[in-house]
Structure 1
Amino acid sequence: MKLTHWLAGMACTVAFAGAVQADPLKNAVADEHRTEAYAERDQYRHPAETLAFFQVQPDMTVVEIWPGGGWYTEILSPLLKAEGTLYAAHFPKETEVGYFKRSRENFEKWLKEEKDIYGGIKLTEFAPGSDSEIAPEGSADAVLTFRNVHNWMRGEKEQAAFETFYKALKPGGVLGVVEHRAKPGTSREDMMKSGYMTQAYVIELAKNAGFELEEASEINANPKDTADHPKGVWTLPPSLALGEEDREKYKAIGESDRMTLRFRKPKS
């Protein structure tokens, strides 16, 4: 082999290896420890594209709000493990809400059982309107919330939630929001009932807390979703709240139409 050919081949190999190493986000999405059932939902949730849009980097301090069963945690943890920090701000430990209690306990059990993989996660709690600390004030590069904002409306705590996020972020930090999207003009009552929120209202909440809307994305849009189902957003996968009734119809729609918004805390 001629030296020039060998050098060209080596350059391609190095370039390829560099490309693999330079894409830690896709590596995290492809992590071998991800739950198979979770990974099957990537087609609806687009985690690599979503986290890239939120500008999440491996050396950041990130707060995940209400991680539930750890769907995004399984991606964020390997992404941030070596250079960054991940706070999982889960449901309050002393909650009286049965679902919250079970979810928190299961999450803690999972962290303990998988401590070799997820042992670096810092578990905190989030109760909107309380003095719970999701991360030290001004310490986070990004706060991320996925399909949660509608839950805070029932107690009229949605504005307090955004104020907590603002407090935790560094100046210049990012707030990433994914939420079920209602049709413009949907009433507050219908938003609470359906689980869908208008994009304008979510933007208003963030701006009231001091954030600036930097960009909106259609990464998680679903034009098949009419957002007017009998059991609200829970009619669709993964909940399928109607059981066998029109099951195939709702499975064909897929998961909800979602807004994806990136806000910025001003630097000064």
Structure 2
Amino acid sequence: MMKRLLLVAGAALMSGLVIAQEPVAPPQVDLEQQQALRDAVSGTSRGITNVMRDAYRNPERTLAFFGVTPQQTVIEIWPGGGWYTEILAPLLREDGKLIAAHFDPESEVAFFRRSRTEFEEKMAGAPDVYDKVELTTLNYDPQLPIAEPGSADRVLTFRNVHNWLSAGEDKAALVFEKFYAALKPGGMLGVVEHQARAGTSLEQMIDSGYVTQTKVRELAEAAGFQLVSVSPVNQNVQDSTDHPEGVWTLPPTLRLGDKDRARYLAIGESDRMTLLFVKPE
């Protein structure tokens, strides 16, 4: 039996069936697509408090790095109050499609239910912006997809990985598998996440909200993704990542209230990784 397996493996190698994954070039947006991103970021439908966070979240450069264009089908994961939805919905409204995979409306977590309701109210309140947004659910039911299999060009998640790890590594793995299933071959996953220092334990990640790049890559690659590129666009070298209330010590949460408020405002929002993965052809 062992001899037969070795012969089969050798034949596969000789025929080219077993090969290392070739590097994938990062996507490029042309001048027209870049202008569309710029217009969406500067759109009048955005809330002023959200616009004020652009300095930390760098939406135009982040979306350009992810290769998001107006013609794509994009899934935004757990959009919360819709910070990025305010940009993506008008960007994709005419020629593309935005799918918002939000919290489960029947979740046992009251915050999840409330956030979903508020998001739906926001969508209904501005139909000229959000009328074409498709609302779906991301939960931990393996039978519930976030979109039709193989239908999306991009899946984007912003500052969510620590939540899935808090639910359990198996739940986090399932979420990445759902992303993989929803994407077309060649489709890409963009991840922005609070970045922990190398060597941070899983327990520390869950407690602090900061996750190591190694852990994110482990989850993505286990689901079948291949890393394409890493960007420094959302890094914040002022953030030590060592705070009394974890990432929630910093703005916009400022969990300590007025205690050392000026200090944490001066640091700004968290140090973040920005990673791009591809579902291989």
**Aligned residues of 1:199 and 1:259 also touching (Cα < 8 A):** yes
| Contact 2:225-2:280 within 8 A present in 1 as well | yes
Aligned to 1:71: 83
Residue by residue over 1:26-67, the C-alpha shift from the partner in whole angstroms, topping out at 9 and shown as x without a partner, is 000000110110000000000000000000010000000000
Is the 8 Å Cα contact of residues 89 and 125 (structure 1) preserved in structure 2? yes
| Structure 1 CA distance for aligned equivalents of residues 141 and 205 of structure 2 | 20
Identify which of 167, 182, 199 aligns with 1:168. 182
- Equivalent in the alignment of 1:45: 57
What's 1:204 paired with? Answer: 218
SS in 2 for 1:152: helix
Compare 21-30 and 145-154 and name the one that shifted more: 21-30
Cα distance change, pair 260–21 in 1 and its aligned pair in 2 (3 A): closer
Whether 1:119 aligns to 2:131 is yes
The superposition leaves residues 69-110 of structure 1 with CA deviations (integer Å, 9 ceiling, x where unpaired) of: 000000001110110000000001111211001100001111
Q: CA deviation at 1:115?
A: 1.3
CA–CA distance in 2 between the matches of 1:246 and 1:116?
42
Residues 19 and 49 of structure 1, relative CA distance in 2, 3 Å threshold: closer
What pairs up with 1:1-268 in 2 under 5 angstroms? Answer: 23-156=35-168, 157-267=171-281
For 2:8, the equivalent position in structure 1 comes to none
Note if contact 2:93-2:129 (Cα within 8 Å) is conserved in structure 1: no
Displacement, 1:20? Answer: 6.9
Change (3 A) 1:216 1:252: same
Distance across 2 between alignment mates of 1:172 and 1:143: 12
Q: Is the 8 A contact 2:33 2:69 kept in 1?
A: no
Contact kept in structure 2, 1:92 and 1:126, CA below 8 Å: yes
CA distance in 2, matches of 1:117, 1:54: 22
Cα RMSD (Å) of the superposition? 1.3
Aligned length: 250
Helix, strand or coil at the partner of 2:167: coil
Whole-angstrom CA distance in 1 between matches of 2:222 and 2:251: 32
SS of corresponding position for 1:154: helix
SS state at 2:108 partner? coil
Distance 1:246 1:117, change over 3 A: same
CA distance in 1, matches of 2:176, 2:34: 33
SS at match of 1:153: helix
Q: Match for residue 15 of structure 1?
A: none
Sort the Cα spacing of 1:76 and 1:82 in 2 relative to 1 into closer, same or farther, 3 A.
Answer: same
- Length-normalised TM-score, structure 1: 0.91
- Which letter does structure 2 place at the counterpart of 1:109? E
Aligned-partner SS, 1:23: helix
Identical positions, percent:
56
Task: Report the Cα offset of residue 116 of structure 1.
Answer: 2.0
Provide structure 1 residue ranges, at least 5 long, that are not aligned to the other structure. Answer: 1-17
Normalised by the size of structure 2, how large is the TM-score?
0.87
